Structure 1
Amino acid sequence: MLFLVGFMASGKTTVGSQLASTLDRGFCDLDCKFEDMTQITIPTFFEKFGEKAFRDKESEILCDVINECSKKVFATGGGCVVREKNRVLLDGQHVIYLKVPFDVIYERLTTKNKRIRPLANTTSKEELHSLYEERQKWYNSVSTHCIECEDLNSNEIVRLILKELSH
């Protein structure tokens, strides 16, 4: 199993899909799995049930996929690392942190036609930056490898990940 972590809009889904294809493995975006299982979009789930209920279900899904012991590449949600339970579940797994500077993240989040993210749509730039900074310690604590993604395209990031995994 290989897990990609990082802040929202860091490219986990794009990179994860390419990485899985390169490694000839399956790919699973845990946010998509969440929506498939609940039959509701994440923004709607947040609106109806709140963040705590979302994090509860996210933890349940993470636990399920880890117990499957498949050889897939998984893209986690940006806040997956917030819960200690999830950090414990990720301990011992191959975890790649896609580290993207906040300014790049913010630009991606504010670009039109991007996926709706509940936390990004309800907080100011300053609050998002604070959230970004707060999560850095958790991304670093769970990751076995950190990839600095500034100014890199997804092909270059995949190549760096493969290089890291070969060591």
Structure 2
Amino acid sequence: MYANGLFCVWNQDVESVIICNPSTREVIRLSNLRKPPSSVDFDPSYNYSLGYEPEENKYKILMTCDASLGPTRNWVFTLGIDESWREIESSFMIDFVPIFNGRVCIDGVIYMFDCKDNFIAAFNVKTENFRIIKLCDDLSPLFNPNFKLIE
């Protein structure tokens, strides 16, 4: 994923997420948080989304963990400020799994297609809140996990 000059690189089978700046060739490897919840007997699915908040000039990485046994859990890491991941609470319970290529950051909001239902989850990088954008029912039969969001 790309946001304002930085790339977020990760692989489900690799333990850490990497942030890289191709113009300076700087690479930052973030701390590892990926541990399955104790009530789960299998490895959960992790997804990372990079966001840029232009007003405060901050980059944040959103990590979503879907254990398929309840609502998605979310953590945030602010580059240059946080030393570890912070779990965030949402004002409403959302259970979503972002599509791998189906996300983009525009004007401080990370938009993510959901794999399971017919909506886009919008994460405000500044306030660290989610909102749901319901898609029209006519799109459901056409929905494809290979869809991409573009700016």
The alignment's TM-score, normalised by the length of structure 2, stands at 0.27
* Structure with more of its chain in helix, by fraction: 1
Higher relative contact order (CA 8 A, sep 6+): 1
